[in-house]
Amino acid sequence: MVRLEEAIRVAEEKDLDLVEIAAAADPPVCRVMDYGKFRYEKKKKQQESNKKQVYVTVKEVKMGARTDQHDVNFKVSHIRKFLERGQRVKVSVFFRGRSITHPELGREMLLKVFEKVKDLSNMEANPRMEGRHMSILLQPR
């Protein structure tokens, strides 16, 4: 255990900083170090750990409850591309006006879309209503 004045003198002699490591300890723990270098290395470690993180993106594909079959096939091709890239896809059917009274049409459309991409994906949950939208979440295999 070194007195504070002596620790400060030693740090100044070596042209370094006296850094408090554990303030809660009794007595407080300090270290003689180059604080700028310490902060730089800490930042580099943080950046390195951020590089190893995997970001999961969720793409959303929207279509109407009465969308034509050709347009649905076109959107399915986009969904297939997203799934092949390893992205999750949220497929939404929106209801306008009185079409909300026939949610079975939206459910049928979502299930048809899933049938077309079944070889590439798993359905996380059955189709569910969220306001005027019905959606499913597809996860790549």
Check pLDDT > 90 for residue 99.
no
Question: pTM for the whole thing?
Answer: 0.61
Give the model's confidence band at 27: pLDDT under 50 very low, under 70 low, under 90 confident, else very high: confident
**Contacts by residues 99-102 (CB-CB < 8 Å, ≥ 24 positions apart):** 99/64, 99/65, 99/66, 100/132, 102/65
State the Cα–Cα distance between residues 104 and 66, nearest whole angstrom. Answer: 11
Q: What integer pLDDT is reported at residue 74 of this predicted model?
A: 95
Domains in the chain, please, with CATH?
4-50 (3.10.20.80), 58-140 (3.30.110.10)
CA dihedral 69, 71, 75, 78 (to 10 degrees): 120
Instruction: Centre a 10 Å sphere on the Cβ of residue 26 and count the other Cβ atoms it contains.
Output: 6
Summarize pLDDT for 40-87 with one digit per residue, the tens. 999 999 999 888 887 778 999 999 988 899 999 999 999 999 999 989
